[in-house]
Amino acid sequence: MITRYSVEHSIEFVYSAPVRASMMTLYLCPIQDRNQLVRGFSIETDPPGPVFDFDGCLNSRGHFFDRPGRHRRLSIRARSTVEVGPIPPTPTKLRADAWETLGRAARAAPELGLMLQPSRFVRPSPVLDDFMASCGLEPGKDPLASALALRTRLHELFDYLPGTTAVDSPIERILESREGVCQDYAHVMASILRGWGIPTRYVSGYLGPDGADSRDLATGESHAWVESWFPGPGWIGFDPTNDTQYDDRHVRVAVGRDYADVPPTRGVFRGAAESMLHTRVRIARQRSTA
Q: ∠ CA(282), CA(35), CA(50), 5° rounding?
A: 55
Report yes or no: 262 and 249 within 8 Å, Cβ to Cβ: no
d(CA 15, CA 271): 9
**Per-residue pLDDT reduced to its tens digit, 20-43:** 999 999 999 999 999 999 999 999
β-bridge partners, 217: 284
**Per-residue pLDDT reduced to its tens digit, 122-168:** 999 999 999 999 999 999 999 999 999 999 999 999 999 998 898 88
Look at residues 121, 157, 108, 143 and name the one whose alpha carbon lies nearest to residue 228: 143
Pairing of strands 159-160, 179-180: parallel
Helices within 13-159 (DSSP H only): 98-108, 110-114, 126-135, 143-157
Domains of the chain: 2-84+263-289 (2.60.40.2250), 98-261 (3.10.620.30)
Look at residues 282, 280, 271, 265 and name the one whose alpha carbon lies nearest to residue 18: 271
For 18, what's the count of Cα atoms within 13 Å in the CB-facing half-sphere?
A: 6
**Per-residue pLDDT reduced to its tens digit, 193-237:** 999 999 999 999 999 997 654 457 778 789 999 999 999 999 999
Residue type, 241: T
Query: pTM of the entire structure?
Result: 0.95
